[in-house]
Amino acid sequence: MAEGAANGELTIGFLPLVDACLPILAREHGFAEAEGLSLRLVRDMSWATVLDRLLYGHSDGAHMVAPLAIATTLGRGRPAQPLSVPFVLGLNGNAVTMRPELARAVNPAGGLGDPAKVGAALKAYISGTGRPLRFGVVHRYSSHNYMLRYWLAACGIRPDVDVEITTVAPPFCADALEFGEVDAICVGEPWNSVAVERAAGEIVMVTAQIWRRGVEKVLAFRESVLDARRPQAEALVRALRKAGEHFVDPANLETNAAILACAEYLDGDATLIRRAISDRLLLRQGGDLLHYPDFMFQHREAANFPWVSQAEWLYSQMVRWDGLPFDPADARKAARVFRPDVYRSALLGTGEPLPGASSKVEGSLAGPTSVSMQQGRMILERNTFFDGKAFDPELLESYITGQHQA
């Protein structure tokens, strides 16, 4: 069992997705070893299994869709078990891929569509054809689900009423498009590209267009394990920062794509993986490779800092789509899942930038803005939601009330 392991050993669960890159590279390039850690990585095929292993001690930590860490803490669908997130593994990196005929109907100009325009065309398409469309997301408690629903709702399309949203495991997304089980998917890479490769779909948008700096996967521990193994968890935070630095250096692209493609990790096509991790996407068969900067966002601007406001935004969406009332006690528990205190204590005294605040107004930056820092210097670039709304965590309750009316 993982908990009984010697001090420096940590077992981390993951799914075969490109944003599992940091733990994989921390192990492969010796960043973990340099911090006195021996990392063991366990791959699974569903988030349910990753979560079971984490809760029952088969793993110490896990690569996890951020909302699932909050849902588990709040006891959604199973007894509550508090999880803690000391590190965000990355922002965005997902795309919306549609069956070719639908893609061409709602995004006739090709290229990456403007979210508001594609939304309007989709709304017209749905009322025009009267055919109920079905969207696949990778998990009920995933950022994919929340980003997709945020976009649809802001475009006047009611999720669960005007469209159906169902769960499809990432490795089967291309199949589901091909066999007409779904009309569109919102999934991480390389699974959009696999669908394009098989001519089963065309990429219409990326989630970074919906929320420019949207929180995606996190490193989750059980709260009790984080407490008991705090020095190892902090060592892992440092190793993951180093892995991130290596990951974003273009000189390392080939090497890192080859490592991620290995049978024991993603077991995938190194060419597709190389594209995704260099922010490049082939949107449709026969098209040109598109470079969309910050499609995946793994390192700059302290991307791994677990902002409490990110957890609170996710809570606002959970309340919205699970049809729950706002509950101040739940809101506090959800906020507490993200642990900037652990991130800070791990990196204090290193060269890493540490923000002065633990929360920020999400989606409010129209352009580069310098922020007050505890350590180092940092400029945050543009960070907006596509509909121009911002999320102020101080006004959580009124934000939630407002979105129910939308």
Whole-number Å distance between alpha carbons of 202 and 196? 6
Structure-token match 């366990």, residue found: 42
Q: Which is nearer to another protein, 49 or 345 (CB)?
A: 49
Cα angle 46, 48, 50 (rounded to 5 degrees) comes to 75
The minimum distance between CB 267 and another protein, in angstroms, equals 13
**Which residues ranging from 156 to 185 are in contact with another protein (CB under 8 A)?**
166-169, 171-172, 179
Q: Which is nearer to another protein, 171 or 188 (CB)?
A: 171
- Report in angstroms how near the CB of residue 160 gets to another protein at its nearest: 10
Least distance between another protein and beta carbon 340 (Å): 29
* 227 CB neighbour count, 10 Å cutoff: 11
User: Looking at beta carbons only, is 45 or 348 nearer to another protein?
Assistant: 45
Q: Which is closer to another protein, CB of 164 or CB of 269?
A: 164
Angle at 159 between CA 156 and CA 163, to 5 degrees: 95
CB of 78 to another protein, least distance (A): 5
Distance of CA 25 to the CA centre of its chain: 18
Strands (DSSP E) found in 52-183: 61-65, 83-88, 91-92, 94-98, 133-137, 163-167
Instruction: Scan residues 35-74 and list those touching another protein (CB under 8 A).
Output: 44-49, 52-53, 56-58
CA angle 341, 346, 351 (to 5 degrees): 115
CB of 150 to another protein, least distance (A): 19
Residue type, 209: Q
Nearer to another protein, 16 or 119 (CB): 16
Nearer to another protein, 121 or 169 (CB): 169
Locate the DSSP E strands across 241-355.
280-282, 289-291, 296-297, 354-355
Three-state SS for 150? Answer: helix
Per CB under 8 A, the segment of 76-84, 294-302, 324-332, 394-402 that binds another protein is 76-84
Q: Going residue by residue from 230 to 259, which x/- string records binding to another protein, judged by CB under 8 A?
A: ------------------------------
Cβ burial of 131 (10 Å; 0-12, 13-18, 19+) is exposed
- Residues touching another protein, count (CB under 8 A): 24
Nearest to another protein of 183, 234 (CB atom): 183
Residue 220 φ/ψ, nearest 5 degrees: -115, 140
**Footprint of another protein on residues 123-142 (CB under 8 A)?**
138-140
How many angstroms separate the CA atoms of 215 and 147, rounded? 10
User: Which phi and psi angles does 371 have, rounded to 5°?
Assistant: -120, 155
CA distance 209 to 297: 13
Report the residue from 30, 36, 78, 224 that binds another protein according to the rule CB under 8 A: 78
- Residue type, position 341, single letter: D
**Which residue lies nearer to another protein by CB, 20 or 236?**
20
| CB contact at 8 A, 133 and 163 | yes
Q: Report, in Å, the least distance between residue 195 CB and another protein.
A: 17
**Cis ω before 190 (30° cut-off from 0):** yes
CB of 79 to another protein, least distance (A): 5
- 325: contact with another protein by CB under 8 A: no
Of 77, 132, 156, 231, which one interacts with another protein (CB under 8 A)? 77
Residue 176 or 283 having the CB closest to another protein: 176
Shortest distance (Å) from residue 328 CB to another protein = 25
User: In whole angstroms, what separates CA 372 from the centre of its chain?
Assistant: 26
Min CB(169)–another protein separation in Å: 5
Residues that bind another protein (CB under 8 A): 44-49, 52-53, 56-58, 77-79, 138-140, 166-169, 171-172, 179
